Structure 1
Amino acid sequence: MKIITVHTYYKPFLDSFYGRRDDRRLDYGKTRNALLKRQFGIGDAYSYNLRRMGHDAIDLIMNDTVLIRLWLRRNWESDLLKIADRLPNFLYRKVITRTNWLKYGLPMVAEEVRLQKPDIVLVRNVKLFPPEWIRKIKQATRIGVVGQIAYSFDKFAWLREYDLVISSLPNLVRYMEKRGIRARYMAHAFYKRILKKVKKQKKQHAVVFVGGFTTAHLDEIRVMEEIVRKVPMKIWGYGVKKLLPSTSPLMKYYQGEAWGLRMFNIYHNAKIVFNRHGDVAPVKKIYANNHRLFEATGAGAMLLTDAKDNLKEFFRVGREAVTYKDADDAVRKINYFLSHEGERKKIAKAGQIRTLKDHTYERRMEEFERIIRSTLMKDSQTKHRGRDYHH
Structure 2
Amino acid sequence: MPNILFLNIYYQNFMDQHYQDNPHLASAGSEEQHASLQAAMFGDSDFYSRAMSKLGWSAKDLITNAEKSQRRWAAEFAFNSTSLQDILIEQIRILEPDVIYAQAPWTINKEVYKAIRPVIKLLVGQAGFPIEQYSGAETQFDLFFTTIPENVAKFKEVEIDAYYNPLGFDPRVIEFDLSESEIEYPLTFVGGLTGNHKSRRVFLDLISDHFIIDCWGYGYGELLLKPNIHYHGEIWGRDMFEVLRRSYITLNNHIDTVSDCVGNMRMFESTGCGALLFTDDGSNLDDLFERGNEVIVYENYEHCLELLLEYADKPDERSTIAKAGQRRTLADHTYARRMELVAKVLEAKL
Q: TM-score range by the shorter chain?
A: over 0.9
Q: Deviations over 1:164-206 (max 9, x none)?
A: 1211001223222223332221100011111116755634211
- Residues 134-149 of structure 1: matches in 2 within 5 Å? 134-141=113-120, 143-149=121-127
Cα distance between partner residues in 2 of 1:51 and 1:72 = 26
**C-alpha displacement of 1:124:** 1.0
Q: Tell me what 1:386 maps to.
A: none
1:264 to 238, 241, 244: 241
Give the distance between the partners of 2:227 and 2:177, measured in 1 at CA.
27
CA contact (8 A) 1:150 1:280 kept: no
Matched with 1:224 is: 204
User: In 2, distance between residues paired with 1:3 and 1:198?
Assistant: 34
Counterpart residue identity of residue 301, structure 1: A
User: In structure 1, how many angstroms separate the alpha carbons of the residues matched to 2:176 and 2:322?
Assistant: 19
CA RMSD of aligned residues (A): 2.0
1-side partners of 2:232 and 2:344: how far apart?
A: 42
- Please give the alpha-carbon distance, in whole angstroms, between the structure 2 residues aligned to 1:313 and 1:250: 38
1:65 aligns with 2:95: no
Q: Distance in 2 between matches of 1:168 and 1:57?
A: 21
**2:137 counterpart of 1:158:** yes
Whether 1:326 and 2:304 are equivalent positions in the alignment is no
1:34 is displaced (CA, Å) by 1.3
Return the offset for 1:249.
Answer: 2.4
Is 2:17 aligned against 1:9?
A: no
Q: Number of paired residues?
A: 346
Aligned 1:101-250 pairs, distance under 5 A = 104-141=83-120, 143-151=121-129, 154-196=133-175, 199-200=178-179, 202-241=182-221, 245-246=223-224, 248-249=225-226
Q: Which has the larger radius of gyration?
A: 1
- Separation of aligned partners in 1, 2:25 and 2:323: 43
Change (3 A) 1:25 1:131: closer
1:340-381 deviations in Å (ceiling 9; x for gaps): 11000100000011110000000011111112134x32xxxx
8 Å CA contact 1:264–1:299 kept in 2: the answer is yes
Q: Is the 8 A contact 2:29 2:73 kept in 1?
A: no
Identify the range of structure 1 (24-33 vs 34-43) with the bigger mean alpha-carbon deviation. 24-33
Cα distance in structure 2, aligned partners of 1:24 and 1:204? 35
Counterparts of 2:192 and 2:134 in 1: how far apart (Å)? 23
Asked if structure 2 preserves the Cα contact closer than 8 Å seen for 1:198 and 1:268, the reply is: no
- The answer as to whether partners of 2:215 and 2:231 remain within 8 angstroms in 1 is yes
Query: What is the Cα deviation at residue 130 of structure 1?
Result: 2.9
Q: Percent identity?
A: 28
Aligned equivalent of 1:304: 278
Q: For structure 2, list consecutive stretches of 5 or more residues without a partner in the other structure.
A: none
Matches within 5 A, 1:41-80: 41-78=43-80
In structure 2, distance between residues paired with 1:331 and 1:249: 16
- More deviation, 210-219/175-184: 175-184
Alignment match of 1:26 (pick from 25, 28, 41): 28
Aligned CA distance change for structure 1 residues 220 and 155 (closer, same or farther; 3 Å): same
Taking structure 1 as the reference length, what is the TM-score of the superposition? 0.84
Distance 1:73 1:217 in 2: 40
* Structure 2 equivalent of residue 352 of structure 1: 326
Letter in 2 for 1:264: F
Q: What secondary structure is seen at the aligned counterpart in 1 of 2:217? A: strand
Give the secondary structure class of the aligned counterpart of 2:216: strand
- Alignment-mate amino acid for residue 338 of structure 1: A
